């Protein structure tokens, strides 16, 4: 376990840098760049550029998720950092009484099952109203955090890293099961000189944008998990710091999109 921790954390960071770096390339650079090419240029460039980029993109996502799951097991579920509100050493699934809490198991499971609720919501008619679905998503995240703290008895660090794991699972799902299958068909159509299916273009763009918005709060949870300086309390409310950071992170990404659309070539 002592060797697995540093080795897999190192691999986790390398894979994460690869994945998130390419995610930002696609969203802040490639999108506006592709719009400057005519059909003939796209037909020549895109089938050569995108498969290479998407190879590193999807495997970076896979390795980030797998190594992250291993680290969760090593550090929390079978490790020496307590998830309990008391901060005592011992079981990673201990409540304030020091016994296993059924809600703790439920919330750990939901960390990895929330992706199906997310996918359902964003395939539903609600997704057509961007403001409404964003508000619903934010309050659902707040609800999950509340249940982790008050029912699952998760400690500060455990809440941070499990919310991050939930975001990372959604992002990896989008890469492998929504973006990559759509992009394969889009690239094939461009290579053949056909117009790509607009539904697939919209789906790939939507899920890639979602991943970009989730990435900034995700990085916060990874970093802030290592410190208790910002212990999650504003106005004596546990977990409110993380919700504020999520909102700020989403706004930062929104501003990045605006800046990216204005950057021009020579």
Domain ranges of the chain: 4-262
pLDDT at 93: 45
Structure confidence at residue 87 (pLDDT):
43
Residue 216 CA, distance from chain mean position: 8
pLDDT of residue 92: 45
Contact, 30 vs 22, CB < 8 A?
A: no
pLDDT tens, residue by residue, 5-55: 899 999 999 999 999 999 999 999 999 999 999 999 999 999 999 999 999
Reported pTM: 0.92
Q: In sequence order, which residues have a C-beta less than 8 Å from that of residue 27 and are 6 or more positions away? A: 208, 209, 212, 257, 260
- Please list the ranges in the chain whose pLDDT falls under 70: 79-100, 225, 228-233, 235-236
């Amino acid at each position: 376990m002592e060797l697995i921790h540093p080795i897999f954390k190192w691999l986790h960071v390398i894979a994460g840098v690869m994945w998130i770096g390419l995610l930002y390339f696609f969203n802040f650079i490639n999108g506006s760049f592709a719009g400057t090419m005519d059909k003939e240029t796209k037909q020549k460039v895109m089938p050569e550029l995108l498969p290479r980029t998407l190879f590193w993109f999807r495997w970076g996502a896979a390795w980030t998720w797998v190594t992250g799951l291993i680290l969760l097991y090593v550090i929390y579920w079978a490790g020496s950092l307590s998830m309990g509100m008391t901060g005592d050493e011992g079981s990673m699934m201990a409540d304030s009484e020091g016994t296993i809490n059924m809600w703790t198991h439920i919330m750990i499971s939901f960390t990895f099952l929330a992706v199906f609720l997310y996918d359902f919501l964003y395939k539903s008619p609600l997704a057509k109203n961007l403001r409404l679905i964003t508000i619903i998503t934010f309050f659902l995240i707040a609800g999950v955090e509340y249940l982790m703290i008050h029912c699952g008895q998760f400690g500060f660090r455990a809440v941070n890293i499990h919310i991050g794991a939930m975001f990372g699972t959604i992002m990896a799902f989008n890469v492998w099961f929504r973006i990559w299958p759509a992009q394969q068909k889009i690239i094939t159509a461009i290579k053949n000189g056909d117009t790509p299916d607009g539904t697939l273009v919209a789906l790939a763009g939507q899920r890639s944008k979602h991943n970009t918005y989730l990435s900034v709060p995700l990085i916060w949870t990874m970093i802030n998990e290592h410190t208790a300086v910002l212990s999650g309390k504003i106005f004596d409310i546990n977990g409110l710091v993380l919700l504020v950071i999520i909102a700020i992170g989403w706004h930062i990404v929104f501003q990045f999109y605006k800046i990216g659309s204005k950057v021009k070539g020579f």
